[in-house]
Amino acid sequence: MEAFNSSIIVLVKRSSHFLLPPFVVANLLPSLISIFSVDPNVMRTFLSSALLITFIASSDACMKVTPGTPGMPAVRACKTCSPTLIMLTQVGEGSHGFDTDTTSTTGACAVRTLTCIGNNPTITVNGDGGALMGATTVSFMATCNAAGTAWVSEGITITQLECASTPAP
């Protein structure tokens, strides 16, 4: 009976820390069945406990989850376009830097607005791809595409912009 008590103590101590693998329980069952054959209630209680411990130990990995960072929404790619995706040049006659260059990320996707101020200002788009003109101020807006890889205006990818104006009379 002393061997019986020490086996139960070791088994319970290991099981409470989930250190008893299922194959150990399976190997101990034949000897435990002969020990518990005198009292079926003891054997039924032990087997129920062993099955429960085995289930908990084997299902532990399936229950672990890694929570996301609370309060931090995912940043949409269309809010991450780099300003360097549009080359700002100053090669034409009367060209100069843009007076303002702002990016707003408050909407669904980032919107970049460039403003050219001067006497008859012009914004040249993609080299010879087109131009915007005004009397004293002209602005150009581009939206970051869904992938966050290009600035787009009216379905055209914008790669180059230039601001120019004529000298004051």
How confident is the model at residue 8, as a pLDDT? 43
| Nearest by Cα to 78 from 114, 113, 125, 111 | 111
- Per-residue confidence band for 77, with pLDDT thresholds at 50, 70 and 90: very high
Here the tokens at position 134 are: 């005004």
Tens digit of pLDDT for each residue in 45-54? 766 765 555 5
Is the pTM higher than 0.85? The answer reads no
Dist CA 158 CA 151 (whole Å): 6
Amino acid of residue 147:
A
The CA distances from residue 51 to 9, 20, 75, in Å, are: 17, 11, 46
- The closest alpha carbon to 135, from 145, 148, 122, 123, belongs to 122
- For residue 93, pLDDT beyond 80: yes
* pLDDT tens string 129-169: 678 888 899 999 999 999 999 999 999 999 999 999 987 66
Q: Both tokens of residue 48?
A: 């129920």
* Angstrom distance (rounded) from CA 139 to CA 122: 9
Decide if pLDDT at 74 tops 50. Answer: yes
User: What pLDDT sits at residue 6?
Assistant: 42
